[in-house]
Amino acid sequence: MEANLPLISVVLCTYNGEKYLAQQLDSILIQTYTNLEILISDDVSTDKTLEILKAYNKKDKRIRICQNSHNLGFNKNFEKAVSLAGADWIAIADQDDIWLPHKLMALYKSVAPDTLLIHSYNAEFKNDDPSKIFTNRSRIRFVGNKTRQLIFYNTISGHTMLFHKKLLSSSLPFQDGVYYDWWMGIQASLQSNIQLHDEALVLHRQHESNFSHVNKTISLEESKAVFFRQRLHTLQCFRQIKNLTKEDKDLLTEYTKILEKESKKSFSLRVFFFFLKHSRSAFYYRKKKFMFFYYLKYSLKKATMKVENWT
């Protein structure tokens, strides 16, 4: 380890993660950045997750385990875990991913002065075969401080983040029903420039237990209604952020009013013209060749009101 590197808190939340947990823990323990505390908050797992954690704790005392007295759910478990972090810099880990050995060193060494959050690309693989990875660069990741872009679409994943604990003063408590990484990204963009390390540093596992926007136990129409209710709730929570600009609050007001009226339709001209009007912000994450036709295409996709065109 290089001398004088500060402590980093790695925060990992677990729930019934026995199948892939050991691979993630192994990848954290072999980080080239070794000055770590590893905080693990288990959300009352009923499988062998806790046994695995205790075995790893015996091998490496950097690991601290906390088990909740009752199930908190995804967001609140992460909220509790990050609030326990003792270091100035905090990294979040999912229970079923694999980190590249230099992940934390690369992120920390790239941090510019006054930056509160830096993130990276990830590489995806399916189930049990990390040798077959795919790095998705068709979607540009967010960089800078143009909050309006993040209002439309989040490209900051929690498992790719390294952030300063100062960000927690504005981010906590996490809002119920709002993805914590989206919420933190908005907060960080209002206070500093968000940085992007242009390398895939996490192998992100895609499997049947990943969260899906489509609930297969209900109809597509019901799933669509659930999705748009959740999206409206997210936008309404964003509008309550105190230091958001008046222009962005007005945008959020317009956006929510349109969704309230149009989300049940199969096609909405109002949604089409709204996204076309704000296309530079709304589609910042897409690579562009012929800008006008590009904006037209994706505004039409949004206007079809299909969930897959919104995620």
- Chain segment 38-96, per-residue pLDDT in tens: 999 999 999 999 999 999 999 999 999 999 999 999 999 999 999 999 999 999 999 99
Residues 280-299: tens digit of each pLDDT? 999 999 877 678 888 999 99
- Mean of pLDDT values over 116-120: 98
Q: Are strands 162-164 and 89-93 parallel, antiparallel or unpaired?
A: antiparallel
- pLDDT value for 214: 46
pLDDT at residue number 187: 98
Tell me how crowded residue 123 is: count the other CB atoms within 10 A of its CB.
Answer: 17
What pairing do the DSSP bridges indicate for beta strands 195-206 and 98-99? Answer: antiparallel
Is residue 164's pLDDT more than 70? yes
* 177-219 residue pLDDT tens: 999 999 999 999 999 999 999 999 999 998 765 544 445 567 8
Contact between residue 123 and residue 202 where contact means Cβ atoms under 8 Å apart: yes
pLDDT at 4 (0 to 100) = 86
Domains of the chain (ranges, CATH numbers):
8-206 (3.90.550.10), 220-309 (no CATH)
- Res 169: pLDDT: 96
**pLDDT for res 132:** 80
Q: What is the pLDDT of residue 2?
A: 61
Model confidence pLDDT, tens digit, residues 123-152: 998 877 777 887 777 689 999 999 999 999
Percent of the chain whose pLDDT exceeds 90:
86
- Determine the pLDDT at residue 212: 44
Q: For residue 173, is the peptide bond before it cis, meaning its omega torsion is within 30 degrees of 0?
A: yes
Tokens of 230: 């959740």
pLDDT band at 261 (very low <50, low <70, confident <90, very high): very high
Average pLDDT, the chain: 93
Q: Which whole number is the average pLDDT over 26-36? A: 98
The angle that helices 291-303 and 269-277 make with each other, rounded to 10 degrees, is 140
The confidence score (pLDDT) of residue 216 equals 55
